[in-house]
Amino acid sequence: MPLDTARVRPTLELRGVSKQFSDLRALSDVCLRIEPGDSVLLYGPNGAGKTTLLRVLSTLARPTEGQVLFAGADVQRNLAAAKAAIGFISHTTFLYGELSARENLEFTGRLFGLPNLQQRMDAVLDLFRLRERAKTPVRELSRGYQQRASLARAFLHDPQFLLLDEPFTGLDAASAESLQELLQRLPEQGKALVFSTHNFDQGTAIAQRLVALEGGRVRFDGPLSLAPLPALRITAQGKEIRKSE
């Protein structure tokens, strides 16, 4: 029986999640709970497991061990409701290169069964300033425009959980600032944001909570103001402290 997500407070949770790829253990015993209003910066060096963690949260990847919970129950019990509540972007755009941004959004909207699709499409095209390039095939767009189209796709169905893997990649300064303002407003709208970025300053300007990953393990999960940055080998400027220092 589908969960009544209107009554149950939607949360997204990892309990003891590990993910193994052949001989690589990408995640080890990760416990993480995301609630509406959370704004979480996922930080760590290359290979720490940030992308894998986001893929598991988004339901694109299944954990090797542990559980992914949505609204308190195993996500597999109510996969459709979980997917409808999640917006995810990754290193690839999830877009069809032969189709325009508008056509990609239309296709996505039909998969999600969205009402008032044209109005929603116009709204996200305006939000990410894509109107003037909306009819251009995605493969002909610059990297920055492709990233904006990918973001528009993630926001189209007005999800409760935004899982963004390096969302600022390819964006020019104006677009990055605009995205930063948008992401800062999400918690007050009751949405949850989990994002990764290599720009620590940019991340801390948006997030209120830090989850530091290293070697697939969570080394810290708590308010940004309480994060032991030196212990996490992160300077105040957001640079990693090399071991020799």
Partner 1 sequence: MHTLRVIWAIFSKDMRVEWRHRETLASMSIFGVLVVFLFNFAFEPAREETLRLLPGLLWVAFAFAGVLGFNRSFAAERENAAFEGMRLAPVDPGAIYLGKMLANLFFLGIAEVIVVFAASLWYNFSFVPVLGRFALITFLCTLGYVAVGTTFGAIAANTRMREVMLPVLQFPVAVPIFIAGVEASTGALKGDPLGDYAGWIKLAAGFSVVFVVLSYLLFEYVLEE
Q: Which helix (H) or strand (E) holds 52?
A: helix 50-57
Picking from 20, 11, 152, 139, the residue whose alpha carbon sits closest to that of residue 82 is: 11
Count of Cβ atoms closer than 10 Å to residue 188 Cβ: 9
Q: Which is nearer to partner 1, 39 or 93 (CB)?
A: 93
Alpha carbon distance 151, 88 (integer Å): 8
Alpha carbon distance 145, 78 (integer Å): 34
- Select the span of 7-15, 76-84, 197-205, 226-234 touching partner 1 (CB under 8 A): 76-84
- Select the span of 40-48, 101-109, 208-216, 237-245 touching partner 1 (CB under 8 A): 101-109
Q: Is 58 exposed, middle or buried (0-12, 13-18, 19+ CB in 10 A)?
A: buried
The answer to whether 111 contacts partner 1 (rule: CB under 8 A) is yes
CB 218 within 8 A of CB 30: yes
Contact pick of 74, 96, 190, 205 for partner 1 (by CB under 8 A): 96
Residue numbers 179-238 binding partner 1 by CB under 8 A: none
The answer to whether 102 contacts partner 1 (rule: CB under 8 A) is no
DSSP symbol at 240: B
CB 114 within 8 A of CB 157: yes
Q: Which is nearer to partner 1, 86 or 130 (CB)?
A: 86
The answer to whether 72 contacts partner 1 (rule: CB under 8 A) is no
Site string for partner 1, 45-64 (x = CB under 8 A): ----------x--xxxxx--
The answer to whether 86 contacts partner 1 (rule: CB under 8 A) is yes
The footprint of partner 1 on this chain (CB under 8 A) covers a number of residues equal to 33
Q: Which is nearer to partner 1, 98 or 240 (CB)?
A: 98
Residue 60 CB, nearest approach to partner 1 (Å)? 6
The answer to whether 31 contacts partner 1 (rule: CB under 8 A) is no
Identify how many contiguous H helices and E strands the chain contains and give both numbers.
7, 10
Q: Which helix (H) or strand (E) holds 139?
A: none
CB 49 within 8 A of CB 216: yes
Alpha carbon distance 80, 95 (integer Å): 21
Site string for partner 1, 144-183 (x = CB under 8 A): ---------x------------------------------
Interface residues toward partner 1, by CB under 8 A: 55, 58-62, 79-84, 86, 88, 90, 92-99, 103, 107-108, 110-113, 137-138, 153
